[in-house]
Structure 1
Amino acid sequence: MEKILMLGCDAIARGAVEAGISYASSYPGTPATQILEYIAKNSSVKAEWSVNEKVAYEVAYGVSLTGRRVLCSMKHVGLNVASDPFMTSAYLGIKGGFVLVLGDDPGAYSSQNEQDSRFYASFAKIPCLEPSDAQEAKDMTKLAFDISEELGLPVMIRSITRLLHCISPVTLENIKPEKEIKLEKNPEYLLAIPKNVVRLHSELNKKQEKIKKLLEKYEFNKIFSGKGKTGIIACGITYLYAKELGEDLPIFKISAYPVDEDLIKNFVKNLDEVVVLEEGYPFIESLVKKYCPNVKGKLSGDLPLEGELCVEPLLKLFGKIKSYTKNFPLIPRPPVLCPGCPHREFYKALNEAHPNFVTGDIGCYTLGANPPLKAIDTCLCMGASIGKASGISSQGIKRVAAVIGDSTFIHSGIPALINAVYNKSDILVCILDNSSVAMTGHQPTPAIGITAKGEETKKIDLVELCKACGADSVEVVDPYDKKSTFEAIKKGLNEPGVNVVIARRACILVAKKLKS
């Protein structure tokens, strides 16, 4: 066995490889992007960048039905997109081990919200494991496949940006062989139709006690004895924060959900006060309040409800420091478009065309909202720009533009474009095609014809795709050619119908690589 330093992302990926997975699927999204990248580059496992998280989950579920093990990874908001198949897959169950890895982002370092994926696991009634360091991340991921197969359910690994992007020692172990293919027809369990659903739901409910007993068997949730009448309940990485206090206090370390409430009762019964530490929402604190009248945490106001928790608020709570600042004492440097970025030139032309309103989307081009460009008026979620523009124009507002990236358009913009055409919108759709998923590290897209493994495949033609969706006009421009870009934008804003302008020039950081 070999011990090396690994990112949390890489450790999770390695755990899946060691477990003998046959496939991995994902859509790029910080902080979970590197999980699939590690598998694609460092193993023989088949891996794919799916067009969105819903498709990634469905592909993974299909692999599981063959009896083989599969990993699906995405960032927390990606599960919003994949929630439809996710929720129902718990009813139908799985065959080969199915592990879903979520990268939550407390502090919203690269996200539009701070949602807590533990609620999704609870909602779907499946197990959720939450590691505290990279070694646990690898070990839990590997073990999660066994748990998945024993329960016949998907298992969630919930981690956060700080763990996924930090490095710590990990011991590598042998890689298990792939499982044999065993695809069987079983419509009574695999068809989510009304005559089966209530029965399947009942069977899922009956599995809940088995889940709790299985998690208890593996001792994911442990009580560590200590001195004093103040105890700490620490979830995931916050266990390390608790240890940094340097106090010999009783600690209840939570690494798996659902939590056996008897463990909570046993832990708090001889304590005068309990401090609950968790990144995200007060998921466990709400539960602890049932058994202890004196609970300090997010709900009590002793710890912040928003942002990343980290160790400083805890140190202040225990009197180790008098105060702390959330920001480093440095002059803030907002994120900006890279020097030579084609998006900047596009936005200059867009501003000169004076649209009445510009709806934005998720990606590098969102940075066009910042000074000095100030070119975007709203940003909601992946693929929302076209729908928002349609809604605004439906109220009689003219010269509305939607800005969306090439990968985001393929992710979830295509249905919105069809909807805009079908409902007779008068909007300009601007697709900024920079030949990569640039914001998350220049992953390939279907529009450039390269897979996650670096293999050549068919290219998707965005022009023909937009025409097939019924767009009234489709024009391709080079954003470096400011005059033609401006004229195309001006024309698209002034003419009725759904008009598309594709601003095509590769990201400045990958252009040379694509040419080679």
Structure 2
Amino acid sequence: MKRVLMLGTDAVARGAIEAGISYATSYPGTPATQILEYIAKNSDILCEWSINEKVAFEVAYGVSITGRRVLCSMKHVGLNVAADPFMTASYLGVRGGFVLAVGDDPGAYSSQNEQDSRFYASFAKIPCLEPYDGETARAYTKIAFDISEELGLPVMIRSQTRLLHCFAPVTLEEVKPQKEVNLYKDPQHLIAIPRHVIPLHKELNAKQSKILEILKKYRFNEIISREGKIGIIACGLAYTYALELEENLPILKITAYPVEDTLIKEFVKDLDEVIVVEEGYPLIEKQVRCYHPKVRGKLTGDLPFEGELGPDPLLRLFGKSPSTHPEEVPPRPPTLCPGCPHREFYKALLSAGPTFVTGDIGCYTLGCLPPFSALDTCLCMGASISKAIGIARQGVKRVAAVIGDSTFWHTGIPALIDAVYNKADILVCILDNSVVAMTGHQPTPHLGITAKGEETKKLSLVEICRACGVDSVVEIDPLKQEELVSALKRGLETPGVHVVISKRPCVLIAGKLKEKKS
């Protein structure tokens, strides 16, 4: 066995490789992006940057149907996109081990919310494992495939930015061989129609007791007996926060869900007070309140409800000095890079004088900040076009939607079709910088490069827009300011759906693209 220093994302990926996966799917999203990147660069395993998280989940499910193991990774809000197949997959069940690795983002370091994916696992009635360091990130991911096949259910690995983006020592183990394809027909367990889903739901409910038995067998959740009448229930990464207290207090370590009520009852029975520490929402804190009269945590205001928890609030709760002093560090909010082509686009857009500009998710979202202050709203991936439709259909003129190239492929195309079909008068601006820049320069479908760096077909944004039935589409280099301003004004002033593609590579990859062309 070899011990190496690894990022948390890499540790999750390594665990999947060791488990013998045959395929990996993902859509880039911080903090989970590097999981698939590690697999692509450090193995011969087939993998893909899927067009969005829903497709990534469905492709992974197809792999599982063949009896082979598969990893699907995404960030927490990506699970919202994949929720439709995710919720039904637990009814139908899986064959080959199916592990869904989700990166939550407490503190919203690179996200539009702080949602807690544990609730999704509970909603779908599947197991959720929550590692607390690099070693458990690898080990839990590897074990999750065995659990998935034993239960016939997808298993979620839930981790957070702090774990995924930190280095930790990890022990490497042998890689299991990939399984042979074993594809066979079984309509009652593969086709989600009304006559099947009620029996399937009954089967899923019957598996809940078995989930608890399996989690108990692996000892994910255990009581660490110590002196003291104050007990700490620490979930996932928060277990490391509890250890930093260096207090001789009993701890209930929780790293898998659902949690047995009997285990909680046993832990709290002789305690005067219970402190529940968990990143995200008070999932376990609510459960503990059923069995002890004095519980402190987020619901009591003893620990913060918003933002990343980290170790400091717990240290303060025990009268100890915080481990960090963020207030002493000058703030460095993100901004558009010097030389970014989006800067030139926003100059032109402001000159064109739109009434209202709907924004989207990507590095171009930073155009909402000074000196441009060019965006008026931002909701989620692909929503810029949809929001523009709603605003324009209320009689508002000169409405512009701004969306990135990768985001357009992700969920912008259905919205563009909707705009054409429902006769919206809007201008759609696609900012094409030839890469998924916000998450680390992953390739896009129109770049013609796969996740493994192999050449593939190049798709055309212009042709896709024309196929959607738009009234006009033009592609312009944002450095050609007069031409761009003129095109934006025409799009704002002319009825119908008009598309302007601002095309210039991200300044950080422009040199690399030139090298490949030469």
User: TM-score w.r.t. structure 2 length?
Assistant: 0.99
Structure 2 match to 1:254: 254
- Aligned residues between the structures: 515
SS at match of 1:452: coil
User: What is the one-letter code of the residue matched to 2:362?
Assistant: G
User: What is the one-letter code of the residue matched to 1:473?
Assistant: S
Q: Quick one: structure 1 residues 326 and 123, their matched pair in 2 at CA, closer, same or farther if it must change by over 3 Å?
A: farther
Instruction: State yes or no: 1:407 paired with 2:434.
Output: no
Instruction: State yes or no: 1:487 paired with 2:458.
Output: no
SS at match of 1:192: coil
Structure 1 match to 2:6: 6
User: What is the one-letter code of the residue matched to 2:437?
Assistant: A
Structure 2 match to 1:317: 317
Distance 2:78 2:112 in 1: 11
Equivalent pair of 2:311/2:323 in contact (CA under 8 Å): no
Structure 2 match to 1:146: 146
1:58-97 aligned within 5 A? 58-97=58-97
Distance 2:406 2:128 in 1: 30
SS at match of 1:438: coil
Structure 1 match to 2:384: 385
Distance 1:357 1:348 in 2: 15
Distance 1:220 1:332 in 2: 38
Structure 1 match to 2:32: 32
Distance 1:227 1:108 in 2: 37
Structure 1 match to 2:503: 504
Distance 2:90 2:476 in 1: 46
SS at match of 1:499: strand
Structure 1 match to 2:351: 352
1:318-333 aligned within 5 A? 318-321=318-321, 327-333=326-332
User: What is the one-letter code of the residue matched to 1:496?
Assistant: P
Report deviation, 1:188. Answer: 1.1
Report deviation, 1:324. Answer: 8.9
Report deviation, 1:333. Answer: 2.2
Structure 2 match to 1:291: 291
Distance 2:332 2:81 in 1: 32
Instruction: State yes or no: 1:204 paired with 2:173.
Output: no
SS at match of 2:328: coil
SS at match of 2:82: helix
1:67-466 aligned within 5 A? 67-321=67-321, 327-466=326-465
What percentage of residue pairs aligned between the two structures are identical? 71
Equivalent pair of 1:313/1:324 in contact (CA under 8 Å): no
User: What is the one-letter code of the residue matched to 1:194?
Assistant: P
Give a deviation string over 1:268-319, Cα, whole Å, max 9, x none.
0000000000000001000000001100100011000010001111011111
In structure 2, the gaps of 5 or more residues are none
Distance 1:481 1:70 in 2: 46
Equivalent pair of 2:215/2:256 in contact (CA under 8 Å): yes
Equivalent pair of 1:383/1:409 in contact (CA under 8 Å): yes
Distance 1:346 1:499 in 2: 16
Instruction: State yes or no: 1:474 paired with 2:473.
Output: yes
Give a deviation string over 1:244-289, Cα, whole Å, max 9, x none.
0010100000000000110000000000000000000001000000
Equivalent pair of 1:127/1:155 in contact (CA under 8 Å): yes
Equivalent pair of 2:99/2:157 in contact (CA under 8 Å): yes
User: What is the one-letter code of the residue matched to 1:388?
Assistant: K
User: What is the one-letter code of the residue matched to 1:159?
Assistant: S
Structure 1 segments (4+ residues) deviating >6 Å: 323-326
Equivalent pair of 1:428/1:498 in contact (CA under 8 Å): yes
SS at match of 1:439: coil
SS at match of 1:502: strand
Q: Quick one: structure 1 residues 324 and 397, their matched pair in 2 at CA, closer, same or farther if it must change by over 3 Å?
A: farther
User: What is the one-letter code of the residue matched to 1:77?
Assistant: V
Give a deviation string over 1:16-67, Cα, whole Å, max 9, x none.
0000000000000000000000000000100100000000000000000000
Distance 2:6 2:501 in 1: 40
In structure 1, the gaps of 5 or more residues are none
Distance 1:406 1:448 in 2: 10
Distance 2:292 2:227 in 1: 18
Distance 1:231 1:489 in 2: 62
Distance 1:434 1:452 in 2: 18
User: What is the one-letter code of the residue matched to 1:123?
Assistant: F
Distance 2:152 2:311 in 1: 38
Report deviation, 1:326. Answer: 7.3
Report deviation, 1:199. Answer: 0.5
Equivalent pair of 1:232/1:274 in contact (CA under 8 Å): yes
